[in-house]
Amino acid sequence: MMSQPNLSTPNDSKLRIEISAKTLSKLLGSEQFCCTDIRCLDPSSKKQLWHLLLQNCACTGV
């Protein structure tokens, strides 16, 4: 059995990842993730994020 390498990274390092709108909506709804943690990289993503946030607020009654 091979051992896993220690992949420690600094806390302030940034990752550029892709996540489905469905998964992001689930994370926002479970309050495990905050919109201030996200920086949109293009106008289309920003528009979709705002839509998800508005949907989430409407569902939670905020």
Task: Provide the domain limits for residue 47.
Answer: 21-60
Q: What letters, b where the CB count within 10 A reaches 16 and e where it falls short, cover 12-45?
A: eeeeeeeeeeeebbeebeeeebeeeeeeeeeeee
pLDDT digits (tens, 9 = 90+) for 1-15: 556 556 666 677 888
pLDDT digits (tens, 9 = 90+) for 40-57: 889 998 898 888 888 877
Q: pLDDT band at 62, cuts 50/70/90? A: low
Residue 35 within a domain: yes
Residue 45 within a domain: yes
pTM: 0.61
Residue 28 within a domain: yes
Which is nearest to 49 in space by CA: 12, 6, 7, 20? 20
